[in-house]
């Protein structure tokens, strides 16, 4: 299962209470107060991790809790601190705090089997807490409460047998929305069946599903392309787009957010125009969809991968494309058998200036 947006509840551990105790020992009459402090509650911590690629762990465990600090004890013994609860998230996770007035709304996943209430918590209504976009980045989402003070703290010349202590503070808690925006250097954008997954499979070690029907790819897949000198680039294959995607037609715009952070966009066209398509029109409507979704995407640098050059009409269409975009880099290829894939890798290498 692939989860890229989910609501969670997090509660850090409460602090332990301070202790009221007096020293009792033979030959030490009225030994004075010796109640120790309570321990601090555990924190809820998020840490980005390369081996995690989606938020599915939170689907199975949406309630995060850290343990509480132990209470203080006699003989000036401190309570043990609560254990932190550490959660791995993929790099590219955004964390929003959900304001209490919209807490009752269901999330996108929850509305799937209950059709009528289509009110969905949107990140727009929430406050951004953090954007974990680096590897091994850490965030303390909720801090554990500090421990209370034992009665030793309250002794003074006038209060020699204090019975005061303080209780531990409660740990922070809240509802949060986690959203994943995959971070890749390059985003593959194209109509269904253009050959995006085939290309990703050829340039990286990823094994995306490839099949001759539209919408084979249902979830974004990121592959790593390796170059000489240990340089690498990440390439994201997202589900195919169709006209109206920005209004959630087809698999919709939900996946477009995964390419918002790509440095380079690759428009993969079926240059042969098989299945009655026209590569020029495809390119035009793909670019328009991106622009309607997020206008900053149209300023992003882009190239064209003209795929399926083994099929009839491809050469003619390639000539038309080159004519129309004389300045653009256009890489002809047959992704299915690997022809042109090396040129494509070289183009990535140059354009990403690795
Ligand atoms: N003739 C020919 N067929 C190709 C080429 N590249 C891919 N195909 C075929 O096109 C079909 C679709 O390929 P995919 O890689 O699954 O396409 P996709 O763009 O990922 O499609 P979606 O995931 O549905 O959006 C498969 O049957 C591939 O074998 C090519 O260069 N030439
Ligand atoms: Mg695919």
Encode pLDDT of 284-342 as tens digits: 999 998 998 888 888 899 999 999 999 999 999 999 999 999 999 999 999 999 999 99
Instruction: Please give the pLDDT value at position 115.
Output: 47
Same domain, 116 and 162: yes
Cα of 150 from ligand 2 centre, angstroms: 62
**Does residue 37 sit in the same domain as residue 73?**
yes
Residues within 5 Å of ion ligand 2, judged at the Cβ atom: 197, 216-217
pLDDT at 77: 96
Same domain, residue pair 246 and 300: yes
> Do 41 and 166 belong together in one domain?
yes
Same domain (yes/no): 150, 191: no
| Domain match, 212 and 279 both | yes
What is the whole-number distance in angstroms between the Cα of residue 59 and the centre of ligand 2?
25
CB 129 within 8 A of CB 95: yes
Protein residue with least CA distance to atom 4, ligand 1? 336
| DSSP codes joined into one string, 258-314 | GTTT-SEEEEEEETT-GGG--HHHHHHHHHHHHHHH-GGGGGSEEEEEEE-TTSTTH
pLDDT attached to residue 281: 92
Among 187, 189, 193, which residue has the most ligand 1 atoms within 8 Å of its CB, making it the best to mutate? 193
Query: Which of 180, 214, 231 lies at the terminal end of a domain, its last residue?
Result: 180
Q: What strands lie across the sheet with 232-237, from one edge to the other? A: 221-226, 232-237, 186-190, 264-270, 301-307, 330-332
Residues 328 and 209 reside in one and the same domain: yes
Whose Cα sits closest to atom 5 in ligand 1?
Answer: 336
Cα-based angle 85, 87, 92 (whole degrees, multiple of 5)? 150
Q: Do 126 and 272 sit in the same domain of this protein? A: no
Do 201 and 145 share a domain, yes or no?
Answer: no
Range of the domain at 209: 186-351
Domain boundary (151, 180, 209) is at: 180
Q: What is the pLDDT of residue 99?
A: 87
**Which CATH number does the domain housing residue 237 bear?**
3.40.50.300
Which atom of ligand 1 lies closest to the CA of 237?
A: 20
- Which CATH number is 69's domain given? 2.70.210.12
Whole-number Å distance, alpha carbon 201 to ligand 1 midpoint, is 11
Ligand 2 mean position, distance from CA 200 (Å): 9
Q: Which stretches in the chain have pLDDT values below 50?
A: 114-118
Instruction: Say how many Å lie between the CA of residue 235 and the centre of ligand 1.
Output: 17
pLDDT of residue 109: 60
**Per-residue confidence (pLDDT) for residue 63, from 0 to 100:** 94
Question: Do residues 66 and 33 share a domain?
Answer: yes
Domain count, the chain: 2
Residue nearest to atom 14 of ligand 1 (CA): 195
How far are the Cα atoms of 63, 97, 119, 176 from residue 125, in angstroms, in the given order? 21, 9, 12, 12
Ligand nearest to C-alpha 198: 1
239 and 316 fall within a common domain: yes
The encoded tokens of residue 345 equal 């890798």
Q: What is the pLDDT of residue 106?
A: 60
Look at the alpha carbons of 284, 288, 290, 296 in this order and tell me if their dihedral is positive or negative.
Answer: positive
Q: In terms of domains, do 157 and 28 share one?
A: yes
> Ligand 1 atom closest to Cα of 218?
23
Domain closes at, from 165, 180, 195: 180
Mutate to test the pocket of ligand 1, among 203, 210, 307 (most ligand atoms within 8 A of CB): 210
């Amino acid at each position: 299962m692939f989860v890229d947006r989910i609501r969670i509840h997090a509660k850090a551990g409460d602090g332990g209470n301070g202790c009221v105790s007096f020293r009792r020992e033979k030959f030490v009459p009225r030994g004075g107060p010796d109640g120790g402090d309570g321990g601090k509650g555990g924190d809820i911590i998020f840490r980005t991790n390369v081996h995690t690629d989606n938020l599915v762990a939170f689907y199975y465990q949406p309630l995060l809790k850290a343990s509480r600090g132990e209470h203080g004890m006699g003989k000036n013994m401190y309570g043990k601190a609560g254990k932190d609860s550490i959660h791995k998230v993929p790099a590219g996770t955004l964390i929003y705090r959900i304001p209490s007035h919209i807490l009752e709304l269901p999330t996108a996943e929850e509305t799937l089997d209950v059709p009528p209430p289509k009110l969905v918590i949107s990140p727009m209504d929430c406050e951004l807490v953090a954007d974990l976009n680096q590897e091994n980045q850490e965030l303390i989402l909720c801090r554990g409460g500090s421990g209370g003070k034992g009665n030793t703290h309250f002794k003074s010349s006038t209060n020699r047998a204090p019975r005061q202590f303080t209780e531990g503070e409660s740990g922070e808690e809240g509802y949060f929305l986690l959203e994943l925006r995959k971070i890749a250097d390059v985003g593959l954008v194209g109509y269904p069946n253009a050959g995006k997954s085939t290309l990703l499979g050829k340039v990286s070690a990823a094994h995306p599903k490839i099949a001759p029907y539209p919408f084979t790819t249902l979830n974004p897949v990121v592959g790593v392309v390796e170059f000489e000198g240990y340089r690498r680039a990440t390439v994201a294959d997202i589900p195919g787009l169709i006209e109206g995607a920005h209004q959630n037609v087809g698999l919709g715009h939900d996946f477009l957010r995964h390419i918002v952070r790509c440095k380079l966009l690759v428009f993969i066209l079926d240059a042969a125009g098989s299945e009655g398509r026209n590569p020029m029109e495809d390119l035009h409507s793909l670019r328009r969809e991106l622009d309607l979704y997020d206008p900053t995407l149209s300023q992003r640098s882009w190239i064209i991968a003209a795929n399926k050059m083994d099929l009839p009409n491809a050469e003619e269409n390639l000539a038309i494309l080159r004519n129309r975009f004389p300045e653009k880099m256009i890489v002809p290829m047959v992704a299915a058998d690997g022809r042109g894939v090396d040129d494509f890798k070289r183009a990535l290498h140059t354009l990403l200036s690795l």
